[in-house]
Amino acid sequence: MNSASLDILKDPEIYKSITKGLLGIIPIVGSVVDELWNYFDTRLIDRRIKELEKTIYQQHIDFSDFQKKLLGLSTDEHKFYAIRNNLKYMFLSALPETVDVLNKSLIDLVMADNYDMSEHACEIIRQLNSDDIYFLKLVISFQKTGNRDYQLKVMQESQQASESQQGSMEKEEKTSTGYKNRLWVSRNVQFSQNTIFWNDIAQFSGLSKNVIDPGILLNSYCSDKNGNTVDDWAYMIRSITKLQSLGVLVCEIKLTIGTSSLSNIDRFHLTFFGQKILSYLDDSTGEV
């Protein structure tokens, strides 16, 4: 890499423009800009501030209301630092793929009168990478247009098993005078559109029907539609397990004879935190 490309531009005119802008004149924003001025490219700071301003307008938020909320943070120390830390991260460290969704969660955090989920959303988004964002957008696309054939099959089988067992129990109630069996039901937790079965989303993503154990994708190559050997789906499985650790998803695994793998996912559920982040992504630009 050419050393010239590593030069940091510290343009006084851009700095003045930032500090006199709609956001820069607000102390909490200006203090972050002053701090970064010493070692960060002013062009990049300017670009990120303009993106934040653009998102505020797109969210149909009155700019004067946004300014008032920021100016009023002097009475809420916790929220002051939560917003300042996220502002600094967005200017300095946020990956381009996460900036839009982080801005939306940050705006929600600023505008919220009471403590809500937006602070947790900011914390989670800061830990995401481009593959995680891609997978979450895949989930959105699946929710809108994906086929849930396997999920429907599981629901029908569960209902039939329950009805059959209920019928047997009612018959036993009429004929048995001694010990009576109790009705048992296999665990089958589903939360409507917020539950996604591996078999369904795997086929939606272009994966073969033969891959019923997603965990093997972390150690095995697959072939794409052109017959090329790829490891693309390993990133998706890593994102799923990572998002579970962040509280975005709750995964349910298949129990097998012998050993059971935590990556052998049967289905996953979008938590309240996951649903919140998807709401920010749903109207973002960029397709899967």
Average pLDDT across the chain, whole number: 83
pLDDT at 261: 82
Residue 90: CB partners within 8 Å, gap ≥ 6?
48, 52, 99, 102, 103, 106
**Phi and psi for 270 in degrees, rounded to 5?**
-80, 125
Which of the given ranges, 9-13, 58-62, 225-229, has the highest pLDDT on average? 58-62
pLDDT score, position 83: 93
pLDDT at 286: 54
Q: Considering only 10-24, 217-231, 264-278, which range has the smallest mean pLDDT?
A: 10-24
Which stretch of 26-35, 248-257, 266-275 has the lowest confidence by average pLDDT?
26-35
Q: What is the pLDDT of residue 80?
A: 92
Q: Region 31-41: what's the mean pLDDT?
A: 72
| Residues 143-150: contacts with CB under 8 Å, at least 24 apart | 143/193, 143/196, 146/200, 146/201, 146/204, 147/200, 147/203, 147/204, 148/197, 148/200, 149/200, 150/197, 150/199, 150/200
CA dihedral 158, 160, 164, 170 (to 10 degrees): 80
Categorize the per-residue pLDDT at 276 as very low, low, confident or very high, splitting at 50, 70 and 90.
Answer: very high
